[in-house]
Structure 1
């Protein structure tokens, strides 16, 4: 049986999130990006785990977050 794994995941390091409201803002911004199926955001860890349905350029993910005045310090 062939196992297909088309999902991709990136972890973003984000500075400036202080609360649950910040998490919700970043989550909504990332999930609005074409190709993003889910974003799990933690203001405590300063991270967003982004699940992708198709390749999305890091610059697009960075812009979605930084347009809301948070700073992306890395994407893996």
Structure 2
């Protein structure tokens, strides 16, 4: 298992977290997603290293911005 951490900006509530979680979960190979609007932290767990650009694009699709931490 591999866990990759990202910092997400713009989230203000649980609905924001849900939107990010839904988009990132769609990425092939992603096993779990842990996201917090309070800390801005996104943890993506997968069997193989996840494509960083795919995660950033998924967060963008949800309406927020992410950078690899």
TM-score, length basis structure 2: 0.92
Question: Whose radius of gyration is greater, 1 or 2?
Answer: 1
- Give runs of aligned pairs for residues 1-76 of structure 1, distance below 5 A: 7-72=1-66, 74-76=67-69
Query: Following TM superposition, where does structure 1 have runs of at least 4 consecutive aligned residues deviating by more than 2 angstroms?
Result: none
- Please tell me the root mean square deviation across aligned C-alpha atoms, in Å: 0.9
TM-score, length basis structure 1: 0.85
- How many residues were matched structurally? 69
Runs of at least 5 residues in structure 1 that lack an aligned partner in the other structure: 1-6
- Name the one with the larger helix percent: 2
Runs of at least 5 residues in structure 2 that lack an aligned partner in the other structure: none
